A and B are shown apart, each in its own frame.
Chain A
Amino acid sequence: MHGRVKIKSTAQQEEEKRKEKEKKLKAFVSARDAVLKKRSAGEHDEEALQLTRQLLSSNPDFATLWNYRREVLLHLETLREKDEVQKLYESELHFIEACLKVNPKSYGCWHHRTWVNTRLPQPDWTRELGLCDRCLSLDERNFHCWDYRRVVVKASGVSVEQELQFTDRLIGSNFSNYSSWHYRSTLLPQLHPQPAPDSAPITSPSPTTSPQFHSHRVCEEQLLKEYELSHNAFFTDPNDQSAWFYYRWLLGRAEREEMISCVYVSREGERVSVAFSKPVHAQSEGLMLVLDGQPQQVEWRSTHPRLRHSPVWLCDLPPGSISDMSNEHNLTIHWTEKHTHRDCALYTGCAESWCRDSATNLELFRSELSVEKSSVLQAELQSCNQLLELEPQNKWCLLTIILLMRALDPLGHEKETLAHFQTLKEVDPMRSTYYSDLCSKFLIENTILKMEYAEVRVFSLSNKNLTTLCHLDQLLFVTHINLSSNQLLRLPPHFAMLQCLEVLEADDNAIENLEGLYHLPKLEEVSLRNNQICKLSDLESLASCTKLTRLDLRGNPVHRTAHIESELSQLLPRVTALSL
């Protein structure tokens, strides 16, 4: 009708959009094909620059085109005078900036820019630093820009001091700046290094100084200032994680010394079990076993076929070499890769022997936070508790308090720790499984410590809401274990490290997998009442435990399997006391 504005229908709009895209696609494809053709023909001319410019302007991630562009530019360099080359590359920098506007996180762009600066007769580092400032003001987390900044700083000799002030400014204007805090953590040890404890002071700060050998990498005076800075940040905004992570870094992490943790010898089994401080592949570690001064040719094997890397390894001694009870023997395991060894003496009349450092002495479970002075840790714990009074539901605060308490006194703070974990699960239910697993780990650590004080070989952790097992390599010499009334789902392959285990109680869990009950040479009695063992095949690995005579499977779905009693007596002929 006359006078009416014609409004296009949605279908028409869709069709127009489709045609538009088809046009764009055609243009892209023809340009792309032209470029790739030129490249194969080895042409390095202005047209190549034009075509690649056209394509890269809308698709700066097409890396091959940047490669081609560099080939062309290098060729043109040979044909131009120095001042022309300067102009050529300066115009390239403008082009790259335009591409960065399309994708500020394009690997291709940033890499090309770095390359251009190596070709520029006179690079302008001030301008480059300015570009970084601008990009970071648009996106403080653009790691490409941070990396590029580090390149610029290095090439132009900007001082560490200046960069530290830069982080001061960024953090001061906005505490939530994970990248700035992170950058700060790399600058501080250069500007304020912790002097080496026993040797002469470091003359030139070396960023490669291994943190393993210092309890903190920053000198104490500066550390205290940094603690204050962190307090300001997390008191101002307790929900921002950046400052909390930085704070944990400050409190430090002690790396565990690499060593042989435990050597266990059994006369009856004529077997040696060795526990290492970390999982290893025994065949690649240069292990040597020396018995009474004589090196022995032995084959190392893992406790379970699925554990190709394991903290515990076994080997058999030549038959008869230690079986006579009236003989004393001295055993040494050499870990040649790490230049360390451990001795173990097997005395007359003793059926077995083991040698290990106590977890208490090693402060084994404190490596979460460093060997910072306890007075400092105590002061930090106080600060965090103050914050907790103001913000009782803050998960970062709760978790940090737990870690501080564990660093100070794991057993003394056990009750409080459990209470805090309970609160954590309520305020942060999305991570309740993580907290349950972490809590399980801490309870296991505490039980190991208590076991040591009592000097017994019984490990008891029933009714503790355990959701996972860990540190099983520390339980090499345990004879009795009680895991009843928890929430365990499986006895994983690592359970096979319990080489001395005689009795296992794991009633009232939700266990459906018994993979770890594998070749346990001393295991006699197993109770698994009220679990989730469903089929005969779930029990297969038990056949490898040759001393097993008592098995209680009452309250498991498997009892419904047809002919289960006869199947089990076939699978496990040595079991004389079976309860279903």
Chain B
Amino acid sequence: MTATLFSPNTLLLDKHADYIAAYGSKKDDYEYTLSEYLRMSGIYWGLTVMDLMGQLSRMNREEIIEFIKSCQHDCGGISASTGHDPHLLYTLSAVQILSLYDSINVIDVDKVVDPFHTLFGVAGLSLLGDEQIKPVNPVFCMPEDVLQRIGLQPDLLN
């Protein structure tokens, strides 16, 4: 590995947080626009990392929630961005974001339940409060009992 001589041996958490906090404002960036088809997941990935670093408050919660609301379609599914088609992947990402923000009810929960019938769907159902399904951890998107069994806990990076 050529990088080892000059690479830092601690995580530059502040820089990572700054990078992610600034990422969302790159509205006139070519690559950013081209990745619009996965925007909802991109937001989720950024938020979950900020949460692990204890810096979730730096993100614009209200703007994100409004964005999610604008992406829910009549069928109950949620799209990656405004004007795109709903998809299971982005419905799950949206549900995960809202779980992080403890705001699951800003969307029509009953409608969302309809399209789910896959593994991702089961995770989504669990986060939406279905009692028949095992609790799922929104950060890892894995059942809590699995995390317990393998002894994996989200460690707050400090």
Give the interface of A toward B (CB within 8 A). 21-22, 24-25, 28-29, 32, 36, 40, 58-59, 61-64, 67, 279, 281, 306-309, 468, 492-493
Contacts and interface: CB of A to CB of B under 8 A. Distances in A.
Interface in B4-41: 28-30, 33-34, 36-38
Contact of A25 (B33, B38, B85, B149): B33
B125 to A, nearest CB: 16
**Which of A36, A62, A307, A468 gathers most chain B CB within 10 Å?**
A62
B34 A309 contact: no
Given A25-B30, A29-B33, A62-B37, A308 B85 contact: no
A49 to B, nearest CB: 18
B88 to A, nearest CB: 11
B149 A279 contact: yes
A87 B66 CA distance: 45
Contacts of A307: 148
B33 A61 contact: no
B84 interface: yes
Nearest to A310: B145
Nearest to A63: B37
Given A22-B30, A64-B79, 11 more contacts: A22-B28, A24-B30, A40-B83, A59-B37, A62-B36, A63-B37, A63-B84, A64-B37, A64-B84, A279-B145, A309-B148
Nearest to B31: A21
B69 interface: no
Interface string B47-79: 000000000000000000000000000000001
Given A36-B83, A64-B84, A468-B151, A309 B30 contact: no
Interface string B134-154: 110000000011001101000
Contacts of B37: 59, 61-64
A22 B28 CA distance: 8
Contacts of B135: 308
A484 to B, nearest CB: 22
A308 B145 contact: yes
Contacts of A59: 34, 37
A493 B30 contact: no
A493 B148 CA distance: 9
A434 B97 CA distance: 33
A41 B96 CA distance: 32
A177 to B, nearest CB: 26
Contacts of A29: 33
B26 to A, nearest CB: 11
Contact of A28 (B33, B38, B79, B134): B33
A468 B152 CA distance: 13
A309 B134 contact: yes
B87 interface: yes
A63 B87 contact: yes
Given A64-B85, A308-B135, A21 B30 contact: yes
Interface string B77-93: 00100011101000000
Contacts of B38: 61
Contacts of B29: 25
A67 B83 CA distance: 13
Interface residues of B, number: 20
Nearest to B87: A63
Point out which of B85, B134, B148 has the most chain A C-beta atoms below 10 A from its C-beta: B148
Contacts of A306: 148
Given A62-B37, A308-B135, A309-B134, A67 B149 contact: no
A62 B36 CA distance: 8
A486 B52 CA distance: 31
A281 B33 contact: no
Contacts of B84: 63-64
A493 B79 CA distance: 40
B33 A67 contact: no
B124 to A, nearest CB: 19
| CB-based closest 7 A-B pairs | A309-B145, A64-B84, A64-B85, A36-B83, A62-B37, A21-B30, A25-B30
21 contacts: A24-B30, A28-B30, A28-B33, A28-B34, A29-B33, A36-B83, A59-B37, A61-B37, A61-B38, A63-B85, A63-B87, A64-B37, A64-B79, A64-B83, A307-B148, A308-B144, A308-B145, A309-B134, A309-B148, A309-B149, A492-B151
A568 B117 CA distance: 52
A59 B151 CA distance: 41
Contacts of A36: 83
A281 B85 CA distance: 38
Contacts of B151: 468, 492
Contacts of B145: 279, 308-309
Contacts of A63: 37, 84-85, 87
Interface in B85-124: 85, 87
Contact of A67 (B36, B85, B148): B85
A22 B33 CA distance: 11
Nearest to B86: A64
A229 B38 CA distance: 43
B29 to A, nearest CB: 8
B3 to A, nearest CB: 16
A185 to B, nearest CB: 22
A235 to B, nearest CB: 29
A493 B144 CA distance: 14
A25 B28 contact: yes
A492 B153 CA distance: 12
Nearest to A61: B37
Contacts of B149: 279, 309
A40 B144 CA distance: 42
Contacts of B30: 21-22, 24-25, 28
